[in-house]
């Protein structure tokens, strides 16, 4: 049961913000499949960049550029709108984390 709850939390934190961001910017593909593929592709890009790019700033720039290109292709939108999706998704994820950790700290 705990495993299913953990999967649900990961789903909410990772996929739903991408789906919301895609709808906000008017992307063609806003469903769960496109969001899942985007998250998996971005994770792979980040892992490869972490492995082969040494400088943190260069790592960020390369992974952001590649991630924006891949996400724009998957979601069916422009590069800059894909970057907007990433920013919206990150903001929602940060808000969820703040609410979650605030609730955890308040209960202690």
Identify the burial level of 29 via C-beta atoms within 10 angstroms of its C-beta, where 0-12 means exposed, 13-18 middle and 19 or more buried: middle
Q: What is the pLDDT of residue 38?
A: 93
Whole domain around residue 41: which residue ranges?
15-88
Q: What is the pLDDT of residue 51?
A: 92
Q: What is the pLDDT of residue 25?
A: 94
pLDDT along the chain (108 residues), means of 10: 83 87 94 92 91 90 93 95 92 86 75
- Please indicate, yes or no, if residue 31 is contained in any of the structural domains: yes
- Please indicate, yes or no, if residue 75 is contained in any of the structural domains: yes
Give the chain's domain count: 1
- Please indicate, yes or no, if residue 9 is contained in any of the structural domains: no
Model-level pTM greater than 0.95?
Answer: no
* Cβ-contact 28, 78 below 8 angstroms: no
- Please indicate, yes or no, if residue 95 is contained in any of the structural domains: no
């Amino acid at each position: 049961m705990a495993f299913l709850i953990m999967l649900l939390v990961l789903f909410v934190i990772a996929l739903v913000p991408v789906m919301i961001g895609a709808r906000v910017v008017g992307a063609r593909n806003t469903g769960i499949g496109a969001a899942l593929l985007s998250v998996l592709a971005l994770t792979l890009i980040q892992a490869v960049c972490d492995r082969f790019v040494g400088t943190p700033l260069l790592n960020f720039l390369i992974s952001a550029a590649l991630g924006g290109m891949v996400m724009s292709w998957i979601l069916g939108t422009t590069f800059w709108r894909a970057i907007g999706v990433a920013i919206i998704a990150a903001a929602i994820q940060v808000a969820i984390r703040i609410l979650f950790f605030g609730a955890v700290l308040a209960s202690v």
